[in-house]
């Protein structure tokens, strides 16, 4: 895992780019990320079918300082980081929730914690869910996540943006079902 000094080193070397980067976001062994202003709320009514590429429809919600989104108990939305991120071929990048928000029931990543080497100049999609009993207000640029970084023993020969299915999406990634079933 990289320390604050290691993180400064990989940023200076161009192996990691965070934009915008507030130097106060660099912590002892990670980075703080903030919530972007676009949320996608899945609409009920469709059976999700990964084999046949059926995903839910979504409402797009833009939040503002004076117009936060109220995430109700048991509700799920997609969001994104305010910051755009580029991860070099020699880095591992895990994004996870913050303890402060977890203590009120908010998770920001359900399973997709890993941001692959070669993720280039885009926000990170967040999977926001309220597991607590109380509504939670979501504001743009609120502290939303922590990042842990580590160096790979050998640089990755595959860059996510060369073949990753989400590389061409906008700010928040809707699900893409591609090759979801193992062929016999």
CATH number at residue 10: 2.70.40.10
Identify the pLDDT of residue 172. Answer: 64
Domain that holds residue 89: 4-163
Confirm whether 36 is domain-assigned.
yes
The ranges of the chain with pLDDT < 70 are 160-177
Both tokens of 40, joined, read 């996608």
Confirm whether 107 is domain-assigned.
yes
Q: How far apart are CA 18 and CA 120, in angstroms?
A: 10
pTM passes above 0.75: yes
Buried b (16+ CB within 10 A) or exposed e, 64-85: eeeeebebeeebebbbbbbbbb
Identify the pLDDT of residue 101. Answer: 95
Please give the tally of structural domains in the chain. Answer: 1
Q: Which residues does the annotation mark as catalytic?
A: 127
Confirm whether 173 is domain-assigned.
no
Computed on alpha carbons and rounded to an integer, the radius of gyration of the chain in Å comes to 17
Confirm whether 151 is domain-assigned.
yes
**Tens digits of per-residue pLDDT, 85-111?**
999 999 999 999 999 999 999 999 877
**Tens digits of per-residue pLDDT, 121-144?**
999 999 999 999 999 999 999 999
Contact between residue 108 and residue 128 where contact means Cβ atoms under 8 Å apart: yes
Confirm whether 180 is domain-assigned.
no
Confirm whether 32 is domain-assigned.
yes
Q: Where are the beta strands (DSSP E) in 46-135?
A: 58-62, 69-71, 76-80, 84-87, 91-97, 106-107, 114-115, 125-130
Confirm whether 9 is domain-assigned.
yes
């Amino acid at each position: 895992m990289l320390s604050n000094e290691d993180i400064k080193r990989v940023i200076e070397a161009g192996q990691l780019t965070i934009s915008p980067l507030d130097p106060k976001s660099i912590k002892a062994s990670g980075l703080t990320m903030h919530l972007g202003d676009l949320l996608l709320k899945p609409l009920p009514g469709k059976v999700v079918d990964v084999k046949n590429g059926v995903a839910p429809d979504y409402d797009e919600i833009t939040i503002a300082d004076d117009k936060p989104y109220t995430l109700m108990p048991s509700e799920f939305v997609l969001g994104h980081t305010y910051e755009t991120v580029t991860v070099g071929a020699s880095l591992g990048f895990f994004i996870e929730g913050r303890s402060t928000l977890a203590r009120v029931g908010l998770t920001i990543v359900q399973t997709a914690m890993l941001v692959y080497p070669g993720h280039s100049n885009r926000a990170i999609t967040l999977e926001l869910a309220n597991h607590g009993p109380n509504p939670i207000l979501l504001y743009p640029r609120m502290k939303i996540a922590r990042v842990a970084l580590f160096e790979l023993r050998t640089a990755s020969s595959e860059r996510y943006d060369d073949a990753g299915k989400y590389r061409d999406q906008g700010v928040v990634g809707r699900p893409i079902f591609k090759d979801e079933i193992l062929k016999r």
